Amino acid sequence: MAAARTFRVLPGFNLTLGYTLGYMSLLILIPLAAVFLKTTELTWGEFIDVVTAPQVVATYKLSFGASLLAAAINAVFGLMLAWALVRYSFPGKKIVDALVDLPFALPTAVAGIALTALYAKNGWLGQYLEPIGIKVAFTPLGVLVALVFIGLPFVVRTVQPILEDLDTELEEAATCLGAQRWQTFRHVILPILLPALMTGFALAFARAVGEYGSVIFIAGNLPYVSEITPLMIITKLEQYDYRGATAIASVMLLFSFTLLLIINGLQAWTAKRTGRDR
């Protein structure tokens, strides 16, 4: 490795690498290592008992299932929103553009309470949805709504710059070659947007898995039905069961890490396949 000293215009490889490692250690690696360390206070048997308790397993399903679904919904509608913002001008466009970021800024508890008030039996929307058999508040559906809400900005903000750079000439070229509208979208636009879309999806997913504040209010937290994994951890903590809490946390971390690794791998693969990464 040392033999291949390449010249770079900007120096500072050692500095940046050292800084990166130090920073990552302080902020991410050490705290997370502490989680795993605390977990090791449990015996293997105890660990398995805690993390595979039926109530806990039910929360994994809800947390990861709803998060994946929410990220998928955000990928579709976030793309549409970004498209509208980039391609068209309409009255109030600037305001809509600013509104997109609001889920970032709003304290999640406020979002949760607002959503609950809207979708509860006597809420603005809930009073119309409940009679036709759609229960949102205090069900897994409510969890999904909250996760879609907080994940929205990620897809819009990752796709938007790519769309802005996208030349309309490409669409014109495709049309001249006889492509129908959906073919142009499917074969020309989507492949170019895909890596950004996947980044947005991954971010929205990661955010949704870790979300606590907004979900707690709208979920109702019925065991086996609408409990999310972060709630399980908090519950354990409130019972001073630190080891149990960290055990569940480490399972969640491993899960999330694996999924993010897969998504990043997919992204790199599409980039390579489409000739962007060389």
Q: In whole angstroms, what is the distance from residue 142 CA to residue 118 CA?
A: 11
User: Residue 262 burial by CB count (10 A; 0-12/13-18/19+): exposed, middle or buried?
Assistant: exposed
- Does 79 participate in binding other proteins (rule CB under 8 A)? no
Compare residues 94 and 276 and give the one whose CB is closer to other proteins.
276
Cβ–Cβ under 8 Å, residues 71 and 201: yes
* 274 touches other proteins (CB under 8 A): yes
Q: 137 to 196, contacts with other proteins by CB under 8 A?
A: 167, 169-170, 172-180, 183, 187-188, 191-192
Burial 58-84 (b: 16+ CB within 10 A, else e): bbbebbbebbbbbbebbbeebbebbbe
Q: Tell me the closest approach of the beta carbon of residue 184 to other proteins, in angstroms.
A: 9
Closest approach, Cβ 175 to other proteins, in A, equals 5
Q: By CB under 8 A, is residue 73 in contact with other proteins? A: no
Q: How many residues bind other proteins (CB under 8 A)?
A: 21
Single out the residue of 79, 46, 67 nearest to residue 193, CA to CA: 79
CB 112 within 8 A of CB 215: yes
| 275 contributes a contact to other proteins by CB under 8 A | yes
Q: How far is the CB of 30 from other proteins (least distance, A)?
A: 41
Q: Indicate the residue among 57 and 173 with the shorter CB distance to other proteins.
A: 173
At closest approach, how far in Å is the CB of 270 from other proteins? 9
Q: What is the DSSP letter of 53?
A: -
With respect to other proteins, which residue has the nearer C-beta, 96 or 170?
170
Residue with tokens 């030349």: 167
Please say which residue, 183 or 258, places its beta carbon nearer to other proteins. 183
- In this complex, which beta carbon is closest to other proteins, that of residue 126 or of residue 195? 195
Nearer of residues 61 and 276 to other proteins, judged by Cβ: 276
Q: How far is CA 148 from CA 52, 72, 85, 216, 274, in A?
A: 28, 9, 19, 14, 30
Q: How far apart are CA 41 and CA 74, in angstroms?
A: 39
| Tokens representing residue 223 in the block | 């065991």
Which residue, among 139, 150, 137, 140, has the nearest Cα to 209 in the 3D structure? 150
Interacting stretch for other proteins, rule CB under 8 A, among 61-69, 71-79, 240-248, 269-277? 269-277
Determine, following the binding rule CB under 8 A, whether residue 253 of this chain makes contact with other proteins: no
Q: Which residues bind other proteins (CB under 8 A)?
A: 167, 169-170, 172-180, 183, 187-188, 191-192, 274-276, 278
